[in-house]
Amino acid sequence: MLKDVYIKLVLTYLSDKPLSISLWNEIKKKYTGRKRHYHNLTHLEALINQLTECRSIINDWETILFSVFYHDIIYNVLKKDNEEKSAELAVKRLSQIRFPLKRIEQCEQQILATKAHTRRDNSDTNLFTDADLSILGQPESTYREYCLQIRKEYSIYPDLIYKPGRKKVVEHFLQMPRIFKTDFFFDKYEQQTRQNLQEELTSF
């Protein structure tokens, strides 16, 4: 499904099937790396499913789809510039397919927004970053599996280092007046998200 969606998207702007396949293979290779336990193709599918549910209130569906495909394409737990590097690659690839410049800039901003997940002026960006956080509001068993997957991605770090860092992240979200910026995702996931985060916090 992801492959078909991506290739169709690219071919809308550039009639170069070999290039579209090459670009898809790059995405597939990055997201199927052996260290990808959560930030993988399943995550991209989940994001598209979440955004499809609110597609009627999304202004630029194609740009948000490109943001999905590229937002975690660079992911190294040892680095703190993954969002910047992912955005940089997205700009490069979208320029190759002649995607409109203003929409490339929007895609870049959406990817960069996943670094802090704070409210932006653009409603599509807020929907995108909320969708990226929607895993936090899933049923308890799904949330626990997500926590295990994230721990595996950070397996290079011992608990002595990982747990304080993770605790800080959890506390950061719980201290927010509201975690989800859009009413659509707030109404759907805010309550369960706070419950999940609070339960994880008690485990430290």
Asked if 70 and 107 count as a contact pair (C-beta separation under 8 A), the reply is yes
Predicted confidence (pLDDT) per residue in 109-162, tens digit:
999 999 999 999 999 999 999 999 999 999 999 999 999 999 999 999 999 999
pLDDT given for residue 191 in this prediction: 98
pLDDT given for residue 82 in this prediction: 98
pLDDT given for residue 163 in this prediction: 97
Contacts with 114 (C-beta within 8 Å, 6 or more apart), sequence order: 71, 72, 83, 128, 129, 132
Predicted confidence (pLDDT) per residue in 163-180, tens digit:
999 999 999 999 999 999
Contacts with 128 (C-beta within 8 Å, 6 or more apart), sequence order: 51, 64, 67, 68, 110, 113, 114
CA angle 41, 57, 88 (to 5 degrees): 45
- Computed over every residue of the chain, the mean pLDDT equals 97
Domains contained in the chain, CATH given: 2-201 (1.10.1300.10)
Predicted confidence (pLDDT) per residue in 181-197, tens digit:
999 999 999 999 999 99
Other C-beta atoms closer than 10 Å to the C-beta of 94 total: 23
pLDDT given for residue 81 in this prediction: 98
pLDDT given for residue 152 in this prediction: 98
Predicted confidence (pLDDT) per residue in 45-104, tens digit:
999 999 999 999 999 999 999 999 999 999 999 999 999 999 999 999 999 999 999 999
How much is the average pLDDT of 13-42? 98
pLDDT given for residue 201 in this prediction: 96
Asked if 204 and 167 count as a contact pair (C-beta separation under 8 A), the reply is yes
pLDDT given for residue 171 in this prediction: 97
Measure Cα distances from 89 to 32, 95, 104, 144 in Å. Answer: 17, 10, 11, 32
pLDDT given for residue 119 in this prediction: 95
Question: Measured between alpha carbons, how far is 131 from 100 in angstroms, rounded to an integer?
Answer: 24
pLDDT band for 203, please (50, 70, 90 cuts): very high
